[in-house]
C-alpha cells in the first residue's frame, strides 16, 4: 500500500466523485477508479458503499480515512517546515445560513493574515447543510436546532432575535423573507418574520438573504426580527422589543462527518471555534 493510493482515496472521499477527485489531482476519472480498485484488492475489503447521498466510506474505509488523514497532517506539517518560504495554497469554501457569513468577514481576513496560503471562498447558497452535503462547500456556519447525522462539528452559541427598526425612522411596515428562503430553510428560525406565502399575501417587501434584510432595516424600509449580536452593533438600529426565546437558534460550525477535514480546514475550524464566541458577544448563550 502506497501513500499515493491513500492520497487518491482521501481526495475521492472529500470531492464526492471520481471525476472531481481527478480534476483536483490532475488525472482522469478512470485513473482514480483504477487506483482505488487496486487499493481495495490489495487490502481485500470494500472501501465504498452506495447511500442516498452518494458513495460513502464503509467501516473499513472510514478506518483507512482516519489513518490517511493523520498521515496527510504529518506530511503537510513536514512540508511546511521544509518549504516555509513557499507555502502551498489551499481554497476553503464556506457556506452559511442565508448569508450570515457576511458578519464574520473580519475573522476570515484575520485568519488569512495568519495563514496566507489559505484562500477563503464564501459560497452564496442559502442552505449551508445542503451545500455541505452536496460538496459545494467544505465548511458550514449553520443556524440549525440539531444538525443531521451526516454532518459533524461544534455548537458555537445560541443566538437570539429581536425586532429592530432604523433609529428615528418609520416603524410601521413589517419586512419579510422571500420564497427562496422559504424553500431553502423551511420553518426553523425564519418564522420570526413573515415568510413566503404569508409575506406575499400581506404585500410585504421580501428579502432572500440576511444582508439584504439587515440593509433594508438600516435604510428605513421597515422593521424586522434581526440577530441581536449583529443588530446591536449598528448605531443606526434600535431594538423595538426584547428577544423571545422561541426565536432563538443554535449556531453550528460543521463539516462532513465521514470526510476528514484537511489540515487547512481544521486550522480554520479551530480558529473560528476560538474567535466566534467573542464576536457574538457575552449576551449570547455560548455552546
pLDDT digits (tens, 9 = 90+) for 38-50: 888 888 899 888 8
Q: Rounded mean pLDDT of 226-238?
A: 96
CATH topology of domain 90-158+249-286: D-Maltodextrin-Binding Protein; domain 2 (3.40.190)
- How many Å apart are CA 32 and CA 23, to the nearest integer? 10
Q: Rounded mean pLDDT of 44-62?
A: 84
Question: How far, CA to CA in Å, does 65 sit from each of 3, 28, 47, 78, 200?
Answer: 12, 22, 9, 20, 48
pLDDT digits (tens, 9 = 90+) for 89-118: 899 999 999 999 999 999 999 999 999 989
HSE (side-chain half, CA atoms, 13 Å) at 131: 24
pLDDT band for position 55 (50/70/90)? confident
pLDDT band for position 283 (50/70/90)? very low
Q: What is the pLDDT of residue 15?
A: 82
pLDDT digits (tens, 9 = 90+) for 181-207: 988 886 679 999 999 889 999 999 999
- How many Å apart are CA 241 and CA 270, to the nearest integer? 35
Q: Rounded mean pLDDT of 161-189?
A: 87
Say which range, 13-17, 158-162, 208-212, has the weakest mean pLDDT: 13-17
Burial class (CB in 10 A: 0-12, 13-18, 19+), 31: middle
pLDDT band for position 85 (50/70/90)? low
Q: Is 85 helix (H, G, I), strand (E, B) or coil?
A: coil
The highest-level CATH class for domain 3-82 is mainly alpha
HSE (side-chain half, CA atoms, 13 Å) at 122: 17
Q: What is the pLDDT of residue 285?
A: 62
Amino acid at each position: 500500500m502506497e501513500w499515493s493510493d491513500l492520497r487518491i482515496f482521501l481526495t475521492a472521499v472529500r470531492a464526492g466523485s471520481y471525476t472531481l477527485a481527478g480534476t483536483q489531482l490532475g488525472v482522469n476519472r478512470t485513473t482514480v477508479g483504477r487506483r482505488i480498485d487496486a487499493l481495495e484488492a490489495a487490502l481485500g475489503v470494500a472501501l465504498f458503499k452506495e447511500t442516498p447521498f452518494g458513495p460513502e466510506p464503509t467501516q473499513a474505509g472510514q478506518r483507512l480515512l482516519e489513518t490517511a488523514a493523520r498521515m496527510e497532517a504529518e506530511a503537510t506539517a513536514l512540508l511546511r517546515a521544509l518549504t516555509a518560504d513557499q507555502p502551498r495554497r489551499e481554497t476553503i469554501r464556506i457556506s452559511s445560513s442565508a448569508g450570515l457569513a457576511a458578519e464574520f468577514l473580519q475573522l476570515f481576513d484575520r485568519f488569512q493574515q495568519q495563514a496566507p496560503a489559505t484562500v477563503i471562498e464564501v459560497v452564496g447558497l442559502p442552505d449551508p447543510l445542503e451545500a455541505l452535503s452536496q460538496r459545494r462547500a467544505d465548511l458550514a456556519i449553520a443556524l440549525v436546532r440539531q444538525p443531521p447525522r451526516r454532518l459533524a462539528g461544534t455548537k458555537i452559541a445560541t443566538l437570539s432575535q429581536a425586532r429592530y427598526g432604523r433609529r428615528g425612522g418609520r416603524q410601521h411596515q413589517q419586512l419579510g423573507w422571500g420564497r427562496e428562503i422559504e424553500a431553502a430553510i423551511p420553518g426553523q428560525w425564519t418564522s420570526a418574520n413573515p415568510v413566503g406565502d404569508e409575506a406575499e399575501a400581506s404585500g410585504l417587501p421580501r428579502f432572500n438573504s440576511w444582508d439584504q434584510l439587515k440593509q433594508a432595516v438600516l435604510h428605513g424600509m421597515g422593521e424586522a426580527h434581526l440577530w441581536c449580536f449583529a443588530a446591536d452593533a449598528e448605531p443606526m438600529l434600535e431594538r423595538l422589543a426584547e428577544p423571545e426565546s422561541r426565536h432563538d437558534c443554535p449556531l453550528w460550525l460543521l463539516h462532513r462527518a465521514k470526510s476528514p477535514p484537511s489540515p487547512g480546514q481544521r486550522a480554520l475550524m479551530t480558529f473560528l471555534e476560538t474567535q466566534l464566541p467573542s464576536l457574538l458577544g457575552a449576551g449570547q448563550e455560548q455552546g
